[in-house]
Amino acid sequence: MYIGTSIMLFLTIRHSKVLETRGILSYDSTSIVMSIEVAKTIASVMLRYAMSGEFLLFSVTFGPRRGELWRMSWAYATPAFLYALYNNLTYLNLRLFDPGTLQLFMQTRILFTGCLFVFLLKRVLSIRQWAALAILTLGLVIKYISPTVMQTVDVRILAMLLQAFFSSLAGVYNEVALKREAHISIHLQNFFMYLYGIVFNLVLGLMIAPQEYLKGSIFRHPHIIFLLIILSGTLNGLTTAFILKFINVIVKAFASAVEVILMAVLAAVILGEPLTQQDVTAGILVMCSVYLYYTKGCGSDVSTKSR
């Protein structure tokens, strides 16, 4: 389900951006992102109520533990802010690049994560993981010099790298801070994460395009593709949270590896995006690097340097 919703999200966003450049529709990306956050918040409230009978909106507003819950919630503000930046950059990058290119370059988060683990958390990577980073770099170099990227080689490519960095930074934060609270309900964690996400996306929308944002163009010019984006974005966010909390990181690694090739192929078949032999070669190398890096864990089974 994670792979399917992720691919559907990227393809629908890319198609909406193509329609936007053709003048067929117009919308503000931050409105869509905030709509997804609202949908995920509602889903978290409903799931929590279905699982335990607790109505989160009442608990955090009038419940006896509301003070404790809000103090605990501050830990989720940081990743919510990082994911708000990440999600909005997704729309920008899918306007500039095809889904296959973005998905491939997004794997640079492995490189960023490795560097953060080594230099920030003082962890030691295995030889296998360093080899994976080298293969990843080679794959990105091949993709970088391919015809589908060379035509857009300028500062715009930094937007993809910035998005990958925000993703890795949020992942490292989750590794260090949030997994210490494994006893807390995933629906409660998600509720606060998405609630702060609504706030940050509202601020971003008012900063980036206040007039367009306040017009609510997403609702003023309805289109079926908006519903598909919101639906796939909501399901993808919920399944990602479930995988990160309950399932081994190897499963997430396999999913990311499969996405690299599958995204490029489906984008070529469904949207008619260009796909060259260099793209396939780069995708295979990056897919292998993802597998090599994560099958030994993300620094979880290695020793730490002396403090």
pLDDT over 90, % of the chain: 26
Confidence (pLDDT) at 304: 40
Q: Which residue, 299, 45, 84, 74, is CA-closest to 181? A: 74
Backbone angles phi, psi at 150, to 5 degrees: -55, -30
Contacts of 202 (CB under 8 A, 6+ apart): 34
Query: Among 108-112, 122-126, 148-152, 294-298, whose mean pLDDT is lowest?
Result: 148-152
Which helix (H) or strand (E) segment is 87 a member of? helix 77-96
Mean pLDDT of the chain: 82
User: pLDDT tens digits, residue range 12-70?
Assistant: 999 999 988 888 887 888 888 999 999 999 999 999 999 888 899 998 888 888 898 89
Q: Which of 21-30, 45-54, 125-134, 145-154 has the highest mean pLDDT?
A: 45-54
Q: Quick one: DSSP state of residue 123?
A: B
pLDDT at 70: 92
pLDDT digits (tens, 9 = 90+) for 233-285: 999 999 888 877 766 555 665 677 677 778 888 888 998 888 888 888 888 88
Domain ranges of the chain: 2-294
Q: Is the pLDDT of residue 192 over 70?
A: yes
